[in-house]
Amino acid sequence: MMMRYVAVTLTALALLGGCQKKDDPSEAGPAERAGRKVDQAAAQAGQAAEQAGARLDNAAKHANEQLSDAAKETSQRLDKAADKAGETLNDATKEAGRKLERAGEKMQTSAEEREKK
């Protein structure tokens, strides 16, 4: 009976020893090595995605700054054009007023000459 007890104990110890987790990658099985490679690839993909996201954020900020600058410049140019158009309109209005005044004076002179006859 003792022999049987020793054989069962040795068998149990052998089985338990085979179930221990091995941290040494060289002793890992093919599935575990493949799993580690998948984990590494996933980690690298995550880092690449974060870097790409950061680059996109920077590009978006830069584009937004350029658009803002372009909008400011366009606004300034429109303001200058509106000012110039206003000045031109004022000048044209003054000239039209002078011509109208001269026409009125001619009409008055003509009316006075008719009254004298």
- String of DSSP letters for 49-105: HHHHHHHHHHHHHHHHHHHHHHHHHHHHHHHHHHHHHHHHHHHHHHHHHHHHHHHHH
Q: How many CA atoms lie within 13 A of 60 on its CB side?
A: 6
pLDDT at position 6: 47
Q: Which of 17, 69, 56, 113 is nearest to 9 (CA)?
A: 17
pLDDT along the chain (117 residues), means of 10: 56 55 66 88 90 94 96 96 95 94 92 83
pLDDT at position 32: 87
pLDDT at position 90: 94
Please tell me the pTM assigned to this model: 0.46
What DSSP state is assigned to residue 28?
Answer: S
pLDDT at position 114: 85
